[in-house]
């Protein structure tokens, strides 16, 4: 199913086509494609090239997938159970060079995940990120040390059948994608003052 952006200005096809479904197919992701997704993340930019991202990859059927699934809140468990890959991004909170707090670790990890979303679109795969998971459970189940913070979980896979979703989720799945207008978001002069460009 396609849900392209209703963009007002031309954008590249991957950004236009990417969206976050909940109906995943019960079909594995090829190993070479999983590798490409993580390679795309590896090459994303980060403050002073710290590369603060660490990933925990679960492949359906393995114990990491089970543990990642276990960290999800009930809402996400309702749909993410079909996803062949679950991926948790864990941020390194301090700079390696001097141990000082890296205020950009979450920003950089989000950016790495964004690169994965576009690489997935490029490969005909779909991603759905989740903030609805237990940081405490993840920390415990994966023995994540101090100084590292689980930030988000991503479901990755092929598109499935929206009829497999509970009714409320199916409605959301079929709804059009909404965005704020650029004029609400782009300021100049001072914060809140719309840019004359939009």
Short-list 71, 80, 79, 81, CA closest to 150: 71
Q: Which residue's beta carbon is nearest to the bound ligand FMN?
A: 132
Using the Cα atoms of residue 115, residue 75, residue 29 and residue 68 in order, give the sign of their dihedral.
Answer: positive
Which C-beta is closer to ligand FMN: that of 47 or that of 118?
Answer: 118
Which pair of structure tokens corresponds to residue 11? 């954008």
Expressed in percent and rounded to 5, the helix, strand and coil fractions of the chain are: 40, 20, 40
Beta-carbon-side half-sphere exposure of residue 82 (alpha carbons within 13 Å): 20
Which C-beta is closer to ligand FMN: that of 41 or that of 152?
Answer: 152
What is the per-residue binding string for ligand FMN in 10-39, x denoting contact by CB under 6 A?
---------xx-------------------
Using the Cα atoms of residue 184, residue 186, residue 189 and residue 192 in order, give the sign of their dihedral.
Answer: positive
What is the per-residue binding string for ligand FMN in 37-76, x denoting contact by CB under 6 A?
---------------------------------------x
Shortest CB 127 distance to ligand FMN, Å: 8
What is the per-residue binding string for ligand FMN in 167-196, x denoting contact by CB under 6 A?
----------x-------------------
Which C-beta is closer to ligand FMN: that of 95 or that of 148?
Answer: 148
CA pair distance 101, 97, nearest whole angstrom: 11
Confirm if 86 and 154 have CB atoms less than 8 A apart: yes
Residues 6+ apart with CB under 8 A from 111: 44, 45, 46
What is the per-residue binding string for ligand FMN in 132-171, x denoting contact by CB under 6 A?
x-------------------x-------------------
Which C-beta is closer to ligand FMN: that of 131 or that of 166?
Answer: 131
CA pair distance 122, 194, nearest whole angstrom: 34
**Contacting ligand FMN (CB under 6 A), which of 60, 108, 129, 160?**
129
Which pair of structure tokens corresponds to residue 95? 């700079």
Q: Which residues of the shown chain bind ligand FMN in the complex (CB under 6 A)?
A: 19-20, 76, 129-132, 152, 177
């Amino acid at each position: 199913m396609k849900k392209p952006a209703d963009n007002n200005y031309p954008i590249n096809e991957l950004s236009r086509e990417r969206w976050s479904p909940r109906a995943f197919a019960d079909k594995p992701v090829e190993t070479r494609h999983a590798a490409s997704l993580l390679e795309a993340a590896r090459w994303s930019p980060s403050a002073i090239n710290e590369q603060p991202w660490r990933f925990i990859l679960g492949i359906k059927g393995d114990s990491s997938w089970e543990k990642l699934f276990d960290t999800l809140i009930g809402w996400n468990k309702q749909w993410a159970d079909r996803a062949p890959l679950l991926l948790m991004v864990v941020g390194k909170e301090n700079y390696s060079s001097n141990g000082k707090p890296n205020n950009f670790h979450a920003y950089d990890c989000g950016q790495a995940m964004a690169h994965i979303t576009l690489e997935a679109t490029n490969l005909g795969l779909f991603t759905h990120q989740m903030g609805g998971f237990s940081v405490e459970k993840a920390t415990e189940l994966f023995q994540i040390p101090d100084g590292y913070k689980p930030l988000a979980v991503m479901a990755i896979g092929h598109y499935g059948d929206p009829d497999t979703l509970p009714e409320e989720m199916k409605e959301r799945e079929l709804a059009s994608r909404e965005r704020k207008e650029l004029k609400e978001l782009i300021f100049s002069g001072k914060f809140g003052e719309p840019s004359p460009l939009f």
